[in-house]
A = this chain, B = another copy of it.
């Protein structure tokens, strides 16, 4: 499997876990010390425990509100770094659908990941996300 396809397959499972609210399994697709630098956040999330805590809270709020989010990555640019890791830069869409309502496009973003292999599987070592609606 080419690195490009490997990244596409990785993002698919990664997003299915996120949108299913599977916080621990989703966090396991980051390295143990993985970081998530989100838009408009003063500090990045650092490590799986922080990722799980933040993601669980959001998932619980969405579930209580009857909201299903869907995260799409696309226009994926994969670059093999000299150290053998991958840098993936892509666009991201966030959709939101409430029970009985029309779906909404909430965000268009850009995501840049440093992806490393652990035991043969890709994991996010560092993620940087920017939102198009914020400076």
Tell me, in angstroms, the Cα distance from A93 to B108 when the chains sit together: 12
Q: Are A108 and B77 in contact (CB under 8 A)?
A: no
How distant is the Cα of A2 from the Cα of B71 in the complex, in angstroms?
A: 25
B76 touches A108 (CB 8 A): no
A105 CA / B104 CA spacing, docked (Å):
7
Size of A's binding interface in residues, CB under 8 A: 42
Chain B residues closer than 8 Å to A107, beta-carbon distance = 103
A4 at interface by CB-CB < 8 Å:
yes
Q: Mark A91-103, 1 if CB is under 8 A from B, else 0.
A: 1010101111111
A99 / chain B contacts, CB cutoff of 8 Å: 133-135
* Bound Cα distance A107, B70 (Å): 11
- Is residue A81 contacting chain B, with contact meaning CB distance below 8 A? no
A95 pairs with B101, CB closer than 8 A: no
A interface residues, Cβ below 8 angstroms from B: 1-2, 4-5, 8-9, 11-13, 15-16, 68, 70-78, 89-91, 93, 95, 97-108, 132-135
